[in-house]
Structure 1
Amino acid sequence: MRPWISSLAFAAGLALASPGLAAPPPVPVAAAAAPDAALAARLDKVVDAALAEHRLVGTVVLVARDGKIVYHRAAGLADREAGRPMREDAIFRFSSVTKPFVSAAIMKLVENGVLNLDDPVTKWLPDFKPKLADGTTPVITLRQLLTHTSGLTYGLAETASHPYHQLGVSDGIDLSGLTLDENMRRLGQAPLAFPPGSAWRYSLAIDVLGSVAEKATGKPLSEVVAETVTQPLDLKDTGFVARDPARLTAAYYNAQPAPRRMTDNLDVPIGGTAVRFAPGRALDKTAFPSGGAGMVGSAGDVLTLLETLRQGGAPILKAATVTEMMKDQVGPQAATQGPGWGFGYGWAVLDDPAVAKTPQGVGTLAWGGVYGHNWFVDPKNRLTVVIMTDTAFEGMNGPFTTQVRDAVYGR
């Protein structure tokens, strides 16, 4: 275990939205505390405004600089209807925050010689042969899956008439009743959006890699991720089912005059499409393990993983592996998180801060999750920022995310 991954706890007296409530117990974190009063003043203003304006119900925000916690706050409510305050050890539904964990697990299997990124997916999933529009069946490699250049897409990005919806393909955050094998079978019947390797599109590719990991190891994906990532880092709160339901947050979506509580298999509009959420999935041991969206855990666990990667990867990965993961593998023309952004293995990579209009340094890694999360790692400035909320979609791509970013950089 790396020296900085300690059992040190956050100081008591955590900031809560509701005055007079007893402070929750201290939470084990990834780094020692070194509070920054000026940063706290800027970030507290952003957090307080988001809550007062009913853009968020609750949030946990963590900022680490040089491997030390410089800001930590739990604010608002984890369950508005029950009056339960947010805690720093709250358990969130990760949605796409799952991807860095599973991507790291895949890269560990590559290091161990179990997988090769240039392997065709059919080596492990012989029946997974989606076709192009012209009826041909191209080769899809594990590398193309890892970089979202395989030709797959996401149901949540497509209209109701798309084949994914007609086939009943699950995005991994609903309660579908499907097994992972059945979901892969359905996905393999849908046409590819483009020839593999020719373009970039966010997709169910990491779910496919999760299935590959199961076939290659003969173990459930939950065990693969535990053995390669969460156990070596002593991440006790992160897995595919919430281990402590009492700490699991409720889930909300933005509405007027205030966010509304989600129910299972609720379609929440986003742009011209919709995301089908099922908060109950976090407690359902029968739900298939979605490699792209199925995990749950705490903000502190996310920070620990990201800081581990920022500092070189030990004890889970070699430094050379992490270096490859942090490289833009697709080019800035993909505009994966807007102009100036490419994509590595597990996240967007910032190529041009000026084009992206961001204060973040070149090489910043970033992504989020539809349940209301956003994170970034800025290696140049030795920063890691984790935003976990219980409110979609403000916590993923709403003004809150850029306001937190700008406050971190003093803008």
Structure 2
Amino acid sequence: VLVERGGEIVLHEGYGLANREAGIPVTPRTVFGLGSIPIDFTHVALLKLMEEGKLSRDDRVTEFFPDVPEDKRSITVGHLMTGASGLPDFHDLPEDRDPDHSWIDRDEALRRMFGQELLFAPGTQREHSHSAWGMLAAIVEVVSGKSFRDYTSEVIYEPAGMVDTGFNGDPVPADRLAIGYSSRTDGEQNAPPHWGPTSWLVMGSGGQVSTAADLYRFQKALREGRLLGEASVRRYFGPTDGDGMARAGDQYGFWCGYSQGADSKFIVLSNNGDLSSVERRRALQRLGEDLLELVRSDPGGTEGALDPAERARRAREWVELINRGDAEAFVEFSRMYRAPAEDQDGVDADRARQYDDFRRDWGVLKDVEVRTNEPRRVVVRAVSERAGTMDFVFRFDRKEPGPILAIMIERVEEEGPGDR
């Protein structure tokens, strides 16, 4: 766990065991599998090439690869980066020994990606795709003329001073290696050095290792302009400037939760994140939420920018909009309390689809009640006719009077008086 507050690292400690069988403890120098965090590295590599004028978001995949099937010829770099390509999430096959670690090269990966049936026509919807980030990694190689490993090392890891970031199959000393503990395992030991070299099943979206300290160096280098120019850094962090919690994990026990605030952030790496265990996922999610609340709190005081009545009104309004059947009003509300996005039309379309999903899955919300009203956190509870009791957790900016930074939705399970 690494925590920065007000520009100062206030916690950097290891907890538990990196290797249970050998009794090796987790320390700040322990190396973990990263799940899908490498998407962040691929994102920076693409922005670097765009800064150099070698790549554009509007470039079509036909500019980089021959013999692209007709239904995929309109896919652009921007589509791949924003989940709008239509590509399925992964491109492993049933006959692969392992869905992440079986070796395939770049050409085979592209053959599979281009051979898949699209989920939707490019640019018409959004659905996260690891395969899309794999295709983007291939574009990085084609445009840079270097391997993905070499290019990311040159423009990210070396200038950021990331000394412990590498790929599957790279050797790691036994006393620094985290073993993954999960219902799914692979290799002589369930850890990246024993999984073989990073396959193009996950290149660009996974298959890498690092430490909390290196991930902190990565974010610090970004903020200080050592990796990208100011405009590209703004584009990377987006309209919320990195405020919020991101999560990444794999099937082999590795999990990461992190935030990317300018001078306050947290990073958690775990080797006990079995994604098949609801209990473990929930515990890690709660840990991340608690740390996010900590790093967002003002060291000089806890008062938010809005008075309690206005906070409660805005949170209730969001929930009650679900019952109105007015998607346009919902989109307008969402736009009102967030900074403009680069692709505002796409964001608005996503919000409208999201609203339809909420209406379908939840039905009418009754008994709307504000349960918690804190300077930066409001919890509204409601009873859904289709999904039971639900908590809507709203997080507000502590400095600016207005922005709702994040909304988390939890289904409440009543187990007894006051318990859930």
Structure 1 counterpart of 2:146: 219
1:107 to 47, 51, 60: 47
Structure 2 counterpart of 1:317: 228
1:209 to 126, 136, 139: 136
Change beyond 3 A, Cα 1:164–1:243: closer
Change beyond 3 A, Cα 1:123–1:364: same
**% same residue:** 28
For 1:46-57, list aligned pairs within 5 A. Answer: none
Report the alpha carbon displacement of residue 169 of structure 1 after superposing the two structures with TM. 11
Task: State the distance in 2 between where 1:403 and 1:87 align.
Answer: 18
Structure 2 counterpart of 1:269: none
Structure 1 counterpart of 2:347: none
The reply on whether 1:326 has 2:237 as its aligned counterpart is yes
Structure 1 counterpart of 2:162: 235
Structure 2 counterpart of 1:55: none
Structure 1 counterpart of 2:186: 263
Deviations 1:265-314 (A, max 9, x none): 9xxxxxxxxxxx974566624744710001111111111112333x3x51
For these two proteins, the number of residue pairs brought into alignment is 285
Which has more helix, going by share of residues?
2
The reply on whether 1:306 has 2:219 as its aligned counterpart is yes
Task: State the distance in 1 between where 2:82 and 2:288 align.
Answer: 27
The reply on whether 1:297 has 2:210 as its aligned counterpart is yes
Residue type of the partner of 2:103?
A: G
CA contact (8 A) 2:243 2:259 kept: no
Structure 2 counterpart of 1:284: 196
For 1:391-402, list aligned pairs within 5 A. Answer: 391-393=272-274, 397-402=281-286
CA contact (8 A) 1:78 1:250 kept: yes
Report the alpha carbon displacement of residue 126 of structure 1 after superposing the two structures with TM. 2.3
The reply on whether 1:117 has 2:57 as its aligned counterpart is yes
Uncovered stretches (5+) of structure 2, i.e. residues with no partner: 295-376, 378-420
1:244 to 172, 187, 192: 172
Change beyond 3 A, Cα 1:179–1:194: same
CA contact (8 A) 2:41 2:156 kept: yes
Task: State the distance in 2 between where 1:264 and 1:199 align.
Answer: 38
CA contact (8 A) 2:187 2:194 kept: no
CA contact (8 A) 1:96 1:369 kept: yes
Task: State the distance in 1 between where 2:292 and 2:66 align.
Answer: 47
Which structure carries more relative contact order (alpha carbon 8 Å, separation 6+)? 1
CA contact (8 A) 1:169 1:187 kept: no
Q: Give the SS at the match of 2:13.
A: strand
Change beyond 3 A, Cα 1:409–1:302: same
Change beyond 3 A, Cα 1:167–1:208: farther
After superposition, the CA RMSD in angstroms is 3.0
The reply on whether 1:165 has 2:93 as its aligned counterpart is yes
Q: Give the SS at the match of 1:70.
A: strand
The reply on whether 1:91 has 2:20 as its aligned counterpart is no
Task: State the distance in 1 between where 2:89 and 2:83 align.
Answer: 11
Report the alpha carbon displacement of residue 213 of structure 1 after superposing the two structures with TM. 0.8
Q: Give the SS at the match of 2:15.
A: strand
Q: Give the SS at the match of 2:18.
A: strand
Structure 2 counterpart of 1:385: 266
Q: Give the SS at the match of 1:284.
A: coil
TM score, norm. by length of structure 2 = 0.61
Q: Give the SS at the match of 1:71.
A: strand
Report the alpha carbon displacement of residue 397 of structure 1 after superposing the two structures with TM. 4.4
Residue type of the partner of 1:151?
A: G
CA contact (8 A) 1:170 1:183 kept: no
Report the alpha carbon displacement of residue 408 of structure 1 after superposing the two structures with TM. 4.8
Uncovered stretches (5+) of structure 1, i.e. residues with no partner: 1-60, 156-162, 254-259, 266-276, 329-348, 351-361
Deviations 1:81-102 (A, max 9, x none): 1111111111111121111112
Report the alpha carbon displacement of residue 111 of structure 1 after superposing the two structures with TM. 0.9
Larger Rg: 2
Residue type of the partner of 1:262?
A: T
Report the alpha carbon displacement of residue 363 of structure 1 after superposing the two structures with TM. 4.3
CA contact (8 A) 1:62 1:69 kept: yes
Task: State the distance in 2 between where 1:127 and 1:175 align.
Answer: 27
CA contact (8 A) 1:175 1:264 kept: no
CA contact (8 A) 1:167 1:186 kept: no
Change beyond 3 A, Cα 1:164–1:175: closer
TM score, norm. by length of structure 1 = 0.62
